[in-house]
Structure 1
Amino acid sequence: MSAENTTERPVPRSVLIAGAGDVGTRLAHRLLAKGRKVFALRRGEAAGGDGIVWLRGDVTRPGTLSGLPAVDAVVFSPTADARDEASYRAVFVDGLRHLLDVLPVPPQRTLFVSSSAVYGEHGGGWVDEDTPPDPPGFNGRVLLEAERSLAALPVGGVSLRLAGLYGPGRTQLFDRLREGKAAVPRGREVYANRIHVDDAAAALAFLLELPAPEAVYVGVDDTPLPIDVLYDHLARLTGAPLPPDGPGPAGIGNKRLSNARLRAAGFRCAWPDAREGYAALLDSHPEG
């Protein structure tokens, strides 16, 4: 546990969400329901009228960040413009520094939305916050650098390493199964790690108010599943053919992510098993 996280802090009354995409916007509405003042920073325009105070700015361009409000907490969850190392570094490392530099006062807590991409190959073994990171790709390396930069600052830094997201609007897997474009490594115990977008938002809201949090948490559901087990289940739900045997996903490593630390802190997923979460998604959006 870092020194910055050993002291209990009051519940944040005002929160700035930098990069309010899908998860960030879901988080914003959760916080509004709790009576929090929520500011959301985006590069583009926002519709407004939803109780969120929308701000426009680009964390890669410090000159666009003038006049940001003083807030109790920050959630840093932007996305990069392109999938290359320079874009990732500009957003996650430099952008985080730019944002924290221009805030009128240091936040009491700063949540960084990181990724399980910081881990490497573990042969299907269990992985948690104490597992040494070994990112196989530039994305994981940059995110790990940002995590470490945050941990060194006096801003109550906490990183949440999210697994693969699914939920409303994220239906590409259904399409690939129906079109016969998904293959799975059959019988080889290659694992999928997932978390529903609503559970990801709920975990962030939980960590904002958790007294004396640890510096790092893994954000994943309770049930890592072999990819062939998950995909076969979804194929049956959608009436698609079972996917053929093929290689596992490249560049992410085979592992089973553990959410034991989050659970020990008191957090519970609404969708602890992705099979149930995907089934509910199909029930609410039968067309996928």
Structure 2
Amino acid sequence: MKPTSPLNRPLNGIHALNTTKHILIAGCGNLGLRAAHLLLQQGHVVYGLKRNPPGQPMNAQTTSPQIQWIQADLCQPDSMQALPEKISDIIYCPTPPQRTETAYRAIFIQGLNNLLGALDTTWLKRLVFISSSAVYGEHHGNWVDENTPLLPLGVNGQVLQAAEQHVHALPYETIVLRLSGLYGPEKQQLLARIRASQTRVPRHETHYANRIHIEDAAAAIVHCLALPTPAPCYLVNDNTPLPIDELYDWLANAMQVPCPPEGAPPAGIGNKRLSNALLLESGFRLRWPDTKQGYLALLKDPPIQI
């Protein structure tokens, strides 16, 4: 049965932090940047570590708090010689340059070791590690949660499973967030593929797609970072896992393009429905609980700049 998810509470229930924290976002791309802005709004000091951070705008005349950028490569220990002191929390959310076992191990396991080895961890209390629902295997369309056994089908999921085990063995409070497929203003690859007739869908068996709006994913990170007694792991997904053919056909109709033809389901991810019950029980509320409504808003509005 589908787990119940109460929806009659305030949206995006982010717990306010009581004290100013110094937070390092390692791999501060689109997702990390959104989390950074939320944390700055709460009054925290935020550092964004990135291989190629953005430069400060020439006309920046503002007194509002800004991300303090660090140019470094997690896979190059020598590039992390001048990390800030008194970091209390780390959000680890890098993106590997390729979908290979070598690249995943370099960034998710060795990269984290490099960061912790270069950082003065005297003040470090909590680490939030961004993982993926790829750690789950084939579940024949059944519901899965944080207690479901992990049997990843691809090397990305296998490396992330090993990375999660490594994270939980660290001498700090650690939280693993297993994110489903991201979509949003910065994540429109699926829409582009459907427009270009580059997608296929299984039509003779139900195969589920799981999604989370990038805005909700960032808010979930900030929410979990502030929880006084967090669980070791949370699934971050919206309330509406949908059959792939239903979702893709709906998107095609909304964009007034042909529906995708019959084809095999995406390889290496398995067929499952992700339960977000534990995350909702912690007090989090989604702004975009329904995948179709989230995509509809995305199709109606132009991409935003954050």
TM interval, short-chain normalised: over 0.9
Q: Does 1:97 align with 2:113?
A: yes
- Confirm or deny: 8 A CA contact 1:11 1:208 kept in the other structure: no
- Confirm or deny: 8 A CA contact 1:119 1:135 kept in the other structure: yes
Match of 1:257 in 2: 274
- Opposite residue 20 of structure 1, the aligned amino acid is C
Match of 2:100 in 1: 84
**Aligned pairs for 1:219-258 within 5 A:** 219-258=236-275
- Confirm or deny: 8 A CA contact 1:191 1:227 kept in the other structure: yes
Match of 2:29 in 1: 21
Match of 1:146 in 2: 163
Q: Does 1:64 align with 2:79?
A: yes
Match of 1:192 in 2: 209
What is the CA distance between 1:271 and its match in structure 2? Answer: 0.5
Question: Runs of at least 4 residues of structure 1 off by over 4 A?
Answer: 9-12
What is the CA distance between 1:175 and its match in structure 2? Answer: 2.4
Structure-1 separation of matches of 2:144 and 2:100: 26
- Confirm or deny: 8 A CA contact 1:194 1:221 kept in the other structure: yes
- Confirm or deny: 8 A CA contact 1:217 1:262 kept in the other structure: yes
Match of 1:55 in 2: 70
Classify the secondary structure of the residue corresponding to 1:161.
strand
Structure-1 separation of matches of 2:196 and 2:28: 32
What is the CA distance between 1:231 and its match in structure 2? Answer: 0.9
Q: Using a 3 Å threshold, how does the CA distance of structure 1 residues 12 and 136 change in structure 2: closer, same or farther?
A: farther
- Opposite residue 98 of structure 1, the aligned amino acid is N
Pick the aligned partner of 1:215 from 232, 235, 258: 232
What is the CA distance between 1:180 and its match in structure 2? Answer: 2.3
CA deviation map 1:131-173 (0-9, x unaligned): 0111111111111111111101111111101000000132222
Structure-1 separation of matches of 2:209 and 2:20: 34
Classify the secondary structure of the residue corresponding to 1:262.
helix
- Opposite residue 66 of structure 1, the aligned amino acid is Q
RMSD: 1.6
- Opposite residue 212 of structure 1, the aligned amino acid is T
Structure-2 separation of matches of 1:46 and 1:54: 8
- Confirm or deny: 8 A CA contact 1:187 1:228 kept in the other structure: no
- Opposite residue 61 of structure 1, the aligned amino acid is Q
- Confirm or deny: 8 A CA contact 2:49 2:71 kept in the other structure: yes
- Opposite residue 86 of structure 1, the aligned amino acid is T
Classify the secondary structure of the residue corresponding to 2:97.
coil
Structure-1 separation of matches of 2:204 and 2:76: 48
CA deviation map 1:198-232 (0-9, x unaligned): 11100000011011111111111111000111111
- Confirm or deny: 8 A CA contact 2:20 2:43 kept in the other structure: no
- Confirm or deny: 8 A CA contact 1:11 1:209 kept in the other structure: no
CA deviation map 1:12-64 (0-9, x unaligned): 61100000000000000010111110000011132235700001111111111
Alignment size in residue pairs: 278
Structure-1 separation of matches of 2:163 and 2:196: 38
Q: Using a 3 Å threshold, how does the CA distance of structure 1 residues 12 and 91 change in structure 2: closer, same or farther?
A: farther
What is the CA distance between 1:284 and its match in structure 2? Answer: 0.6
Q: Using a 3 Å threshold, how does the CA distance of structure 1 residues 36 and 169 change in structure 2: closer, same or farther?
A: same
What is the CA distance between 1:187 and its match in structure 2? Answer: 4.8
